Amino acid sequence: MSDYLVRAASRPLLSGLMRALRLPTPVTLNRAEPPFVPEALENQTFYIGQTDNARLGRKIGNVLSSGGAHARTLEDVDTEGSTAHHGLVFDATGMQGADDLSALYLFVNRVARQIAACGRVVILADAPERLDSTEASAAAQAVEGFVRSFAKEVGKFGTTVNGIYVEPGAESRISEPLRFLLSDHSAFIDGQVLTISGAGRAPRSVPTRGTLVDKVAVVTGAARGIGAATARRLASEGAKVVAIDVPDNRDPLENLSQEIGGAALALDITSGQAAAEIGDFCNAQHGGIDVFVHNAAITRDRSLANMSTDEWQSVLAVNLQAVLSIDAELDRRKLLRDHARIVCMSSVAGIAGNRGQTNYAATKAGLMGFVRARSDALRSRGVCYNAVAPGFIETAMTAAMPLPLREAGRRMSSLGQGGYPEDVASVVAFLSTPGAGGLSGNVVRVCGQGLIGA
């Protein structure tokens, strides 16, 4: 499953013709191969800038240099002129009021034109709701509007723009999220603002290579699509993966498990014994769980007035109630290890709503409420709960959509194309790593800044 316009636009002759015909010409996105490596930014040049009272100090420069990148400033532009570069990082923390936003405007305005295709822009600011002054809070919130709008301007070049809100005490936790957003592992995340919290116990050490070696990861709905890509991606980071899917999918599930050296557990997550079976298996085989990805879901689309009780209840049961029961059982049995990571597969439908999907969208919004509510509960043990909300992803599900709807889903986004299951898997894998310990209660959209729900 791939995008015919992305394929055509990658051929010089055809792309010229497409432009002449005013057809969309989405660029082929730069995607990094797994696994995560520290030198993910090797030989790339980024311009870095900051406001007068920025408080992240040398941390941004350190992330770039440890990733193998070169950092330049506006002073370099003054002496050598602006040259093509891979992107921008701006430290907008410490802003006191709206006047401080001028520094952000001047910096980006000066070097925006020379960002290479598939560049990366990240802007860091204080978390608005954690600031005492109204002026400072308004200025920090303004960054979100800036990020989302600039992303819409440069998306046609495959360039992404994202933000990071840094809560007090979270300064030491910015390195891995910043490196991830600057790298080509985050190719389909665009126009998003993550919040890094300083709360909770930090892991003693954060590996930058083999990030999930010796960790036990469970993925539901792993027989195909995004779940299978996630299981493969977690295994590529070194995790031992327990792949779960319905008994009808036993064959593909076992093939996948063999391929990645994991284990297959064929069960229906809505069955009364599912939570206990998963708990028993993980306890007996591994003694605990480090990563749990709640990915399995179903759709039963119909307008609400025509929706049967079964269509409503079956979607609620798989997509939401099973997640709550499994999580409660694992918690009750204390099977989640310290610093465990729980990732729920939500959807932009849960943010924007979709006609004919009241059941599905309700469950996907419910998962966002679930991770926010749970993120405080086990923070003292360093356990993090996050949701990932994919937009239009090229899977069997979206291939079956009527052509006009499919085209609208693909093109109505800043990047002008659909994502791949591997794009979603990459985000899930990142959220599962020790370096993502500052992220909890976040909903990360992987949608190329789709207009629907973005």
Please count the residues of this chain forming the interface with ligand NAD, following the rule CB under 6 A: 28
Among 187, 393, 439, 444, binds ligand NAD (CB under 6 A): 393
Residues contacting residue 140 through CB under 8 Å, at least 6 positions apart: 92, 95, 125, 126, 127, 128, 131, 165
Among 144, 167, 268, 329, binds ligand NAD (CB under 6 A): 268
CB 185 within 8 A of CB 120: no
Q: Looking at 35-43, 186-194, 244-252, 255-263, which segment touches ligand NAD (CB under 6 A)?
A: 244-252
* 390 touches ligand NAD by CB under 6 A: yes
* 446 touches ligand NAD by CB under 6 A: no
* 397 touches ligand NAD by CB under 6 A: yes
* 358 touches ligand NAD by CB under 6 A: no
- Clarify whether 385 is annotated catalytic: no
Cα 365 to Cα 345: distance, rounded to the nearest angstrom: 10
Q: Compare residues 37 and 401 and give the one whose CB is closer to ligand NAD.
A: 401
Cα 451 to Cα 384: distance, rounded to the nearest angstrom: 28
Among 13, 396, 400, 403, binds ligand NAD (CB under 6 A): 396
* 189 touches ligand NAD by CB under 6 A: no
Among 126, 245, 327, 423, binds ligand NAD (CB under 6 A): 245
Tokens of 335: 């099977």
| Exposure b/e, 328-338, CB count within 10 A at least 16 = b | ebbeebebbbe
Q: How far is the CB of 227 from ligand NAD (least distance, A)?
A: 5
Say how many residues make up the chain.
454
Q: Compare residues 26 and 435 and give the one whose CB is closer to ligand NAD.
A: 26
Between strands 160-166 and 85-91, the pairing is unpaired
Q: Looking at 155-163, 233-241, 302-310, 394-402, which segment touches ligand NAD (CB under 6 A)?
A: 394-402
| Residue 277-316 contact track with ligand NAD, rule CB under 6 A, x = bound | ------------------xxxx------------------
Among 345, 351, 378, 425, binds ligand NAD (CB under 6 A): 345
Among 234, 246, 361, 436, binds ligand NAD (CB under 6 A): 246
Residue facing ligand NAD at closest CB distance: 225
Which residue in the list 4, 47, 105, 360 is annotated as catalytic? 360
* 415 touches ligand NAD by CB under 6 A: no
Q: Compare residues 237 and 245 and give the one whose CB is closer to ligand NAD.
A: 245
Q: Give the residue among 169, 211, 203 at the shortest CA–CA distance from 381.
A: 203
As a whole number of Å, the end-to-end CA separation of the chain is 24
Cα 286 to Cα 136: distance, rounded to the nearest angstrom: 48
* 392 touches ligand NAD by CB under 6 A: yes
Q: Compare residues 111 and 345 and give the one whose CB is closer to ligand NAD.
A: 345
Binding to ligand NAD (CB under 6 A): which residues in 200-239? Answer: 220-221, 223-227
Question: What residues line the site for ligand NAD (CB under 6 A)?
Answer: 220-221, 223-227, 244-246, 249, 268-270, 295-298, 318, 345, 347, 390, 392-393, 395-398
Give the catalytic positions in this structure. Answer: 360
